Amino acid sequence: MDDKYDVVELAVERTVGIKVTFADNYSAEIDLMTLRLICPCAMCRSLRERGKAAWPQSEASQKLSILDAQFHGSWGVNITWSDGHNAGIYTFEFLREIAESYLQVKRTDL
């Protein structure tokens, strides 16, 4: 695996988001809403493909936070959300791609 995708630090701020630092010293902060909306699980991907929002769901609490985050080996992290969702595994490659593409677009929109 390319060092570009090796995570050396991942900090979780439960009400803010995550900060991830890669082996090549690239780091990014990804906010809660972005993380939840891009959940990589099959259910959320299917909803997005049909033009529906993965969050918020009508039965879910509207206040979003991270309840727990667990590493999956050396390749990803699973997040348990305050809305009860916990099916998505965010691979480090996926987080890097989000940091480099989506967040760059977000910065230029400011």
CATH for 28: 3.30.2020.30
Closest CA to 66 of 86, 91, 49: 86
- If you average pLDDT over every residue of the chain, what do you get? 87
Domain membership of residue 85 as a residue range = 3-108
Confidence label for 15 from pLDDT (cuts 50, 70 and 90): very high
Taking residue 28's Cβ as centre, other Cβ atoms within 10 Å add up to: 18
Q: How many domains does the chain have?
A: 1
Q: Are 91 and 81 in contact (CB under 8 A)?
A: no
Encode pLDDT of 58-103 as tens digits: 555 568 999 999 999 999 999 999 988 999 999 999 999 999 987 6
In the predicted structure, residue 18 carries a pLDDT above the cut 90: yes
Q: How far apart are CA 84 and CA 65, in angstroms?
A: 10
- Reported as a pLDDT band with limits 50, 70 and 90, residue 109 is very low
pLDDT of residue 60: 55
Interatomic CA distance for residues 8 and 110, integer angstroms: 29
